[in-house]
């Protein structure tokens, strides 16, 4: 071990700020100044500190820097590493670190899924193993029968984290029960819900947890082949997952006769090609088969008739990432987190006008208010909260009267607040509900695959009506028509995309009815967003 260590936070946010580039530059400089025997550079995931730059920590000095340019990197090397003087101008004040990192972030967060993210080098299988990685797989293969694995997952009460919340153990059991010559395990990593980037962080920060879980699932249900379907835009995720798969093969955790158990499992990565609908499970299967991603008619469901017509388990990245810890610590441990109906934790993407935008993992049942104010630090500039989108674009829009709803898989039924894929998008009154509704419906109209009429035409019609309203040309009947569209698409659409359009549409029209009414009456948009265009009434000739 070298005397000095520089940890660089490389997560999806810092990558955008040039973290990779800075790491390479840092290594070059260390070579140039002949420091390669004294200084080690390690990349890690997020450190839970949010600044305007890339966070670099120097140990044993325990100094944290916020780096924004290559000049900053150079300063740190020539001043700190070479001469031992801290660069005060770049240093993140200690009080801020202690306050943000320990009191508000780490102590309050409960990390199961993200336990390794930011603590290990995601590209090193050894570091994953050092944190009990692949211990669960070993336990399963050496001590447990497939049926026992199923019982364990079932008893944990884990529910699918992709949004629908279907009990994971039950899904696995359906597939396990079917006799077939080939079964598959598929990981849905086509994270396309606007506002969500949790799966990306898991895959970039702890890729082995997903691989280990999929192998365990394969053993439990009798599948020998797996696919991870990743969004084409997620270059970093693809890179890290592919490296992790390669290493797992080398260590004998994938491939033939895993850990001498006689169990075989192969894993392949498939890339998406830019279609939101492919997040729908049967559309995703079609896409893996090389076809257009149009959803299939259900039933039959994937657990019995899935990929290439064979029984298939499909789970979200976050769902899988829970599995190794459940196996190691037992279902009772898992149930000690969260609520009775939804045990465990949930990873949220905090976005919009909150102070600390980013990812947090907290127990199920945490309220929207806590997420925005305790973890998100409230709104930028101390502005007033006006509207929150929860769960993603297919989730709900709520006003401040519903902030105390505890979020879990029953909160939509009980409070009309959807947990979905874990988006919390906070908005001040500088945004206009009509405009946001229009943006949301334009999204669905664009992403509707066109296979079934209610979804294709319903979304198009909703866009037309909302466009009229945002120009100040709406009518009172339009509100009723919007509601009708919502009901019909929900009832008559083929897949989850069309069936869930009613959730955002109804929630925004009902919770912000006053804003819609004002757009019908007022001469300008009350939020100053929409541009009204008045129709010239044709003059009647006399």
Partner 1 sequence: MPDLCTTGERLLNELDNYISSIGAKPDKLISVLQKAQELFGYLSVEVQQHIADALDIPVSQVYGVVTFYNFFSTKPKGKVQIKVCLGTACYVKGGDRVFERFLEELGTKPEEPTKDGHFFIHPVRCLGACSMAPVVLVGEKDFYGRVKPDMVPRIIEKYKEVK
Distance between CA 493 and CA 256 in Å, rounded? 43
* Nearest-approach distance from CB 520 to partner 1, in angstroms: 23
Query: Of these, 118, 352, 365, 422, which contacts partner 1 (CB under 8 A)?
Result: 352
- Tell me: does residue 429 bind partner 1 (CB under 8 A): no
Among positions 156, 319, 345, 349, the unique one binding partner 1 when judged by CB under 8 A: 349
The length of the chain, given as a count of residues: 542
Site stretch for partner 1 (CB under 8 A), options 53-61, 316-324, 357-365, 407-415: 357-365
274 binds partner 1 (CB under 8 A): yes
Cα dist from 427 to 39, 101, 218, 439, whole Å: 44, 25, 42, 14
Q: Which residues pair with 265 in a beta bridge?
A: 255
Residue with tokens 């924004």: 68
SS3 415: helix
**Per rule CB under 8 A, is residue 12 in the interface with partner 1?**
yes
Q: In 408-501, which ranges are continuous DSSP H helix? A: 411-415, 433-447, 453-470, 476-492, 496-499
447 binds partner 1 (CB under 8 A): yes
> What residues from 16 to 35 belong to the interface with partner 1 (CB under 8 A)?
16-17
Rg (CA), the chain: 25
Nearest Cα residue to 338 out of 410, 396, 404, 394: 410
Both tokens of 141, joined, read: 């293969």
Q: Which stretch binds partner 1 (CB under 8 A): 133-141, 216-224, 287-295, 409-417?
A: 287-295
Check binding of 350 to partner 1 (CB under 8 A). yes
Question: 525: part of which helix (H) or strand (E)?
Answer: none
Closest contact distance (angstroms) between CB of 338 and partner 1 is 24
Binding mask 148-177 for partner 1 (x = CB under 8 A): ------------------------------
Per-residue binding string, partner 1, 289-328, x by CB under 8 A, is xxxxxx-------------x--------------------
Candidate list 43, 72, 127, 193; residue touching partner 1; CB under 8 A: 193
Burial class (CB in 10 A: 0-12, 13-18, 19+), 42: middle
Q: Does 406 bind partner 1 (CB under 8 A)?
A: no
| Closest alpha carbon to 277 in 396, 160, 393 | 393
User: Helix, strand, or coil here: 186?
Assistant: strand
Q: What is the DSSP letter of 270?
A: E
For the bound state, the minimum distance from the C-beta of residue 390 to partner 1, rounded and expressed in Å, comes to: 12
- Report the nearest approach of partner 1 to the CB of residue 309 (Å): 12
Sheet holding 225-230, edge to edge: 266-271, 225-230, 184-189, 312-316
Whether a cis peptide bond, with omega within 30° of 0, leads into 403 is: no
Site for partner 1 contains 51 (CB under 8 A): no
Give the residue, chosen from 35, 431, 492, 520, that forms a contact with partner 1 under the rule CB under 8 A.
Answer: 431
User: Which residues contact partner 1 (rule: CB under 8 A)?
Assistant: 12-13, 15-17, 191-197, 200, 231-235, 270-276, 287-294, 308, 349-353, 357-359, 389, 393, 423, 425, 427, 431, 436, 439-440, 443, 446-447, 449
């Amino acid at each position: 071990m070298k005397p000095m260590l520089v940890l660089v936070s490389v997560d999806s946010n810092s990558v955008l700020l040039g973290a990779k580039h800075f790491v390479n530059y840092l290594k070059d400089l260390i070579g140039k100044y002949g420091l390669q025997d004294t200084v080690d550079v390690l990349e890690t995931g997020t450190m839970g500190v949010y600044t305007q730059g890339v966070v670099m920590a120097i140990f044993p000095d325990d100094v944290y820097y916020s780096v924004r340019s290559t000049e900053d990197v150079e300063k740190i090397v020539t001043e700190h590493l070479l001469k031992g003087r801290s660069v005060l101008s770049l240093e993140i004040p200690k009080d801020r670190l202690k306050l943000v990192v320990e009191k508000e972030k780490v102590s309050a967060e409960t990390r199961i899924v993200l336990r390794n993210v930011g603590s290990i080098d995601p590209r090193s299988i050894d570091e994953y193993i050092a944190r009990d990685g692949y211990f669960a797989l070993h336990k399963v293969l050496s001590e447990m029968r497939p049926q026992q694995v199923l019982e364990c997952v079932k008893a944990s009460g884990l529910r699918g984290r992709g949004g629908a919340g279907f009990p994971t153990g039950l899904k696995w059991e359906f597939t396990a029960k079917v006799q077939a010559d080939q079964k598959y395990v598929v990981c849905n990593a086509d994270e396309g819900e606007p506002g969500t980037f949790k799966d990306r962080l898991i895959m970039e920060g702890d890729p082995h947890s997903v691989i280990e879980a999929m192998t365990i699932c394969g053993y439990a249900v009798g599948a020998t082949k797996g696919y991870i379907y990743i969004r084409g835009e997620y270059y970093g995720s693809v890179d890290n997952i592919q490296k992790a798969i390669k290493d797992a093969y080398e260590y004998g955790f994938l491939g033939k006769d895993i850990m001498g158990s006689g169990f075989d499992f192969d894993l392949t990565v498939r890339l998406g090609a830019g279609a939101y609908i492919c997040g729908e499970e049967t559309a995703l299967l079609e896409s893996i088969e090389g076809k257009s991603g149009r959803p299939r008619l259900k039933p039959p469901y994937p657990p019995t008739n899935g990929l290439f017509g064979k029984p298939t388990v499909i789970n979200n990245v976050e769902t899988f990432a829970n599995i190794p810890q459940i196996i190691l610590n037992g279902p009772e441990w898992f149930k000690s987190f969260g609520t009775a109906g939804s045990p465990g934790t949930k990873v949220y993407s905090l976005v919009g006008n909150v102070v600390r935008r980013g990812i947090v993992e907290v127990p199920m049942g945490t309220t929207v208010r806590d997420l925005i104010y305790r973890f998100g630090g409230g709104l930028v500039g101390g502005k007033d909260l006006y509207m929150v989108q929860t769960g993603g674009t297919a989730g709900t829009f709520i006003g401040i009267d519903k902030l105390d709803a505890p979020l879990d898989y029953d909160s939509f039924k009980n409070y009309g607040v959807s947990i979905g894929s874990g988006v919390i998008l906070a908005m001040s009154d500088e945004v206009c509900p009509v405009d946001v509704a229009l943006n949301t419906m334009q999204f669905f109209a664009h992403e509707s695959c066109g296979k079934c009429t209610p979804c294709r035409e319903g979304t198009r019609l909703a866009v037309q009506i909302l466009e009229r309203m945002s120009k100040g040309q709406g009518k009172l009947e339009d509100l009723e028509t919007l509601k009708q569209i919502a009901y019909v698409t929900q009832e008559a659409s083929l897949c989850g995309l069309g069936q869930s359009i009613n959730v955002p549409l109804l929630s925004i029209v009902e919770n912000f009815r006053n804003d819609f009414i004002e757009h019908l009456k007022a001469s300008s948009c009350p939020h100053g967003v929409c541009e009204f265009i008045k129709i010239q009434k044709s003059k009647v000739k006399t």
